[in-house]
Amino acid sequence: PLASKAGSAGTTSKPPFPELDFRSGARVEELNKLIQEFTKHDQREYDDQRALEIHTAKDFIFSMLGMVQKLDQKLPVANEYLLLSGGVREGVVDIDLDELNVYARGTDYDMDFTLLVPALKLHDRNQPVTLDMRHSALCHSWLSLRLFDEGTISKWKDCCTIVDHINGATNYFFSPTKVADWFYDSISIVLSEIQKKPQRGMPKVEKVEKNGTIISIILGVGSSRMLYDIVPVVSFKGWPAVAQSWLMENHFWDGKITEEEVISGFYLVPACSYKGKKDNEWRLSFARSEVQLKKCISSSLMQAYQACKAIIIKLLSRPKAISPYHLRSMMLWACDRLPASYLAQEDYAAHFLLGLIDDLQHCLVNKMCPNYFIPQCNMLEHLSEETVMLHARKLSSVRSDPAEHLRTAIEHVKAANRLTLELQRRGSTTSIPSPQSDGGDTNQPDDRLAKKLQQLVTENPGKSISVFINPDDVTRPHFRIDDKFF
């Protein structure tokens, strides 16, 4: 008892020891400060001019797609796009990165977006959607045009692979590679026409490239460069039967958003499995649901995720085996696994970062990363033992010194911002007015719009934007940021 009393007396006289990470010895307080610094540099503030440039680029892209629709009437007349902040390389959709050219923020672009453009829509079904998965790996599907009317079949025949059956019937399977080829050719024709008659204030098309099955466009608007990764997709209302069991489980978003919001629709994106047939196989994407789920993730966990993503994009880029989408899936699983009260702690970003690194290393060592919506689909199944162990060892070095890797990520984002500012300074004397402006007082409505856009960006950092557009009327903006309309 005496020893016990002495011990307790001794402990009360000592100052509290700073909280340390057991593995690396890093001070948790320092890691939190580094994550905050990374977030400060990673989240850019937009002034009125930049907001107007973002709006001008978006208008140009939507007008271009309206012209693509009019070329051969293939695209739906009144289409519904999903505009996501961040390019495909940032993991906003599950598409393989090994076919994509490397673009760097600061060097090639200042802001990046992903635009999902439905080539086909199946929006008239209330029951679970059953897809033809007989020929595909889990989380993938072929798409027969037999689900559509004769008019649709005749329009898209040239973008299909044809399978003749013994009974004489012909089945047309919608081909992601042929659709992407058609889309790239159509966009190229339209951009060529637009550039023949340039209008004052029109964005400069700096790059148009086909990266696998996506089309990447970099626009110069004033002093800004915007990267748009445009992805042709098939859009469905409702929910796929293969993911029906996921709805029966308990999830972190229960009670925060309604099931109707989460299962309002899904997509097929042009990506195939490791052994799949590229010409026929599409990948299921739940990007619309992920926009909703993101609303339920705490800001401290999102900061840790963004910092972790910046570290792994550089570190695990060769060979390409891990994408930021894997990390996003792990974060969603962590939200299901851990108490909401714990994840809501504002000063726990360091704990979350270390946990995400541990989780990713665990996934690699066990070669197991389940898809969040279809858990029976293991997204790392195809990797070799050599590749997963190589990446696990690289992550081990991060886990041994997370502070140093965070400082490197901060330096990279600061360097990118410096390049952007340098370009802005060089271009500040030649800032571009809105396409609707003639340089006089008529641009006042656009100034108001710029202020509104700046407000939206400030109030909704990192959120995704749904845009509803009628190609016959591109004069009016149709924004939806999460559940708010503008």
User: Taking phi first (over 0 means left), then psi (-120 to 50 degrees means alpha), and beta for anything else, what does residue 441 get?
Assistant: alpha
Integer Cα distance of 327 and 305 in angstroms: 8
pLDDT for 455 equals 59
CB 361 within 8 A of CB 392: yes
Neighbours of 275 (CB within 10 A): 9
Looking up tokens 């001070």, which residue turns up? 27
For the chain, give the percent of residues with pLDDT over 70. 83
Integer Cα distance of 157 and 328 in angstroms: 36
Token pair recorded at residue 447:
């100034």
- Encode pLDDT of 186-202 as tens digits: 999 999 999 888 888 89
For 18-169, strand residue ranges (E) read: 79-85, 111-122, 140-141, 160-164
Strands 484-485 and 204-211: unpaired
Record the pTM.
0.84
What would the mean pLDDT of 279-296 be, rounded to a whole number?
96
pLDDT for 223 equals 85
CB 155 within 8 A of CB 74: yes
On the 0-12 / 13-18 / 19+ scale of CB atoms within 10 A, 147 is middle
Token pair recorded at residue 217:
């466009």
Residue 483 has pLDDT above 50, yes or no: no
In the DSSP assignment, the letter for residue 433 is P
What would the mean pLDDT of 4-19 be, rounded to a whole number?
58
Cis check: omega of the bond before 319, within 30 degrees of 0? yes
- Average confidence score pLDDT of the chain: 85
On the 0-12 / 13-18 / 19+ scale of CB atoms within 10 A, 17 is exposed
Integer Cα distance of 402 and 181 in angstroms: 43
Looking up tokens 């076919």, which residue turns up? 99
Residue 161 vs residues 123, 179, 258: alpha-carbon distances, Å: 24, 11, 39
What would the mean pLDDT of 258-287 be, rounded to a whole number?
93
pLDDT for 270 equals 97
| CA dihedral of 122, 123, 127, 131, whole degrees rounded to 10 | 20
CB 441 within 8 A of CB 450: no
Integer Cα distance of 79 and 279 in angstroms: 25
- Encode pLDDT of 141-171 as tens digits: 999 988 888 888 999 999 999 987 766 678 8
For the ranges 10-24, 50-64, 205-219, which has the lowest average pLDDT? 10-24
For the chain, give the percent of residues with pLDDT over 90. 63
pLDDT band at 484 (very low <50, low <70, confident <90, very high): very low
Question: Quick one: angle between helices 324-337 and 299-315, nearest 10?
Answer: 150
- Encode pLDDT of 420-470 as tens digits: 888 878 765 333 333 333 333 333 334 455 555 555 655 665 555 554 444
Paired residues of 479 in beta bridges = 467
Q: What domains lie within the chain, and their CATH numbers? A: 26-421 (3.30.460.90)
| CA dihedral of 358, 461, 226, 441, whole degrees rounded to 10 | -170
pLDDT for 126 equals 57
pLDDT for 245 equals 92
Sign of CA pseudo-dihedral 80, 86, 89, 94: negative
pLDDT for 78 equals 83
For the ranges 116-130, 328-342, 386-400, 425-439, which has the lowest average pLDDT? 425-439
Sign of CA pseudo-dihedral 300, 302, 307, 311: positive
Q: What distance lies between CA 379 and its chain's CA centroid?
A: 17
CB 217 within 8 A of CB 230: yes
Token pair recorded at residue 457:
């960006």
